[in-house]
Amino acid sequence: MMKPTLIYTADGSHSIYLPHLNEHYHSVHGAIQESMHVFIYAGLHAVANNPINLLEVGLGTGLNVFLTMIENKNQPRSISYTSLEKYPLTAEIYQSLNYAKLLNEDEKDFLKIHQCAWEVPVAIHEHFYLIKHHVSLQQWHTKQQFHLIYFDAFAPEKQPDMWTEEIFKKIYELLEPGGIMVTYCAKGVVKRTLKSCGLQVQSLPGPPGKREMIRAIKPKQTIL
Ligand SMILES: C[S@@+](CC[C@H](N)C(=O)[O-])C[C@H]1O[C@@H](n2cnc3c(N)ncnc32)[C@H](O)[C@@H]1O
């Protein structure tokens, strides 16, 4: 496997390129821009709960954790953020990421996301608890349900096993009734699979460079 490479995206923020998959962790049009649009504006802002149980599929660079933590400083709610990662990044890579600098935030807060212990909840900021699991979504089992899921797997063409009916049935079970899942992907086949698993699907305008994105909602009541 070739080494992950640090790249610059169009808004100046870093992302990672994986040569063996020919895939980036974020949109090359802007990593911070994309994460704000898809996960913060279309996800976090669409959920009114307090406390919030949030699940992320794919911790990666920690950018979504960091942006959620920063956003929560404005009108703090209590956030329990669970993040799954099958292939954690090395310290060499995460220490080079320029997110704290670009966002005018304390680098120590960003590093805490990567350096805190796995498998236990850690208060990494006021009202913000992070629990990282070093596991794949497929291998992870819980009875917990979530108000919000950030579904940030690699694209369907690169990682088809993450966009199947089996996976979205699991996402359905992981959502609270009325809970939502957001993803940057907007493929027709993904929308159809989500619907076949009982989720309501909304197509929203995508971030720069992408026409659409998906928000999926678990209905509050199932009609028998
Ligand atoms: C598109 S990247 C996005 C990562 C992250 N959200 C970010 O902002 O950097 C996808 C992430 O999912 C992780 N991943 C791949 N397969 C996975 C699986 N089966 N379960 C959980 N995470 C997985 C990858 O290692 C990678 O970190």
Q: What is the pLDDT of residues 34-54, one digit of tens each?
A: 999 999 999 999 999 999 999
Is the distance from the beta carbon of residue 84 to the nearest atom of ligand 1 less than 6 Å? yes
Count of CB atoms situated within 10 Å of the CB of 16: 19
Residue nearest to atom 18 of ligand 1 (CA): 136
Q: Distance between CA atoms of 53 and 220, rounded to whole angstroms? A: 17
> pTM for the complete prediction?
0.97
Ligand 1 pocket test, pick from 22, 25, 159, 174 with the greatest ligand atom count within 8 Å of Cβ, gives: 25
Which residues form the domain of 41? 29-217
Residue 106, pLDDT above cutoff 90: yes
Residue nearest to atom 12 of ligand 1 (CA): 58
Q: pLDDT category, 89, cuts 50, 70, 90?
A: very high
> Does 7 reside within a domain?
no
Residue type, 139: Q
The model's pLDDT over 163-194, given as tens digits with 9 standing for 90+, comes to 999 999 999 999 999 999 999 999 999 999 99
Q: Is 160 exposed, middle or buried (0-12, 13-18, 19+ CB in 10 A)?
A: exposed
For residue 85, the domain's CATH number is 3.40.50.150
Angle at 80 between CA 74 and CA 84, to 5 degrees: 120
> Does 208 reside within a domain?
yes
> Does 163 reside within a domain?
yes
Ligand 1 pocket test, pick from 14, 21, 38, 59 with the greatest ligand atom count within 8 Å of Cβ, gives: 59
Q: pLDDT category, 75, cuts 50, 70, 90?
A: confident
Per-residue model confidence (pLDDT) at position 3: 87
Nearest ligand 1 atom to the CA of 84 is 21
Give 195 Cα–ligand 1 centroid separation in angstroms: 23
Helix spans in 24-164 (H)? 31-35, 63-71, 91-94, 99-102, 107-115
> Does 11 reside within a domain?
no
Per-residue model confidence (pLDDT) at position 101: 98
Is the distance from the beta carbon of residue 138 to the nearest atom of ligand 1 less than 6 Å? yes
Instruction: Characterise 58 by phi-psi region: left (phi > 0), alpha (psi -120 to 50), beta (else).
Output: left
Is the distance from the beta carbon of residue 166 to the nearest atom of ligand 1 less than 6 Å? no
Q: Which residues of 66-96 are buried (b: 16+ CB within 10 A; e: fewer)?
A: bbbbbbbeeeeeebbbbbbbbeebeeebbee
Is the distance from the beta carbon of residue 25 to the nearest atom of ligand 1 less than 6 Å? yes
Q: pLDDT category, 221, cuts 50, 70, 90?
A: confident
> Does 40 reside within a domain?
yes
Structure tokens at 52: 């919030």
Residue 224, pLDDT above cutoff 70: no
For the chain, the average pLDDT equals: 96
Are the CB atoms for 199 and 218 separated by under 8 Å?
yes
> Does 16 reside within a domain?
no
Number of domains in the chain: 1
Residue 123, pLDDT above cutoff 80: yes
Q: Distance between CA atoms of 182 and 58, rounded to whole angstroms? A: 13
Is the distance from the beta carbon of residue 127 to the nearest atom of ligand 1 less than 6 Å? no
Are the CB atoms for 28 and 45 separated by under 8 Å?
no
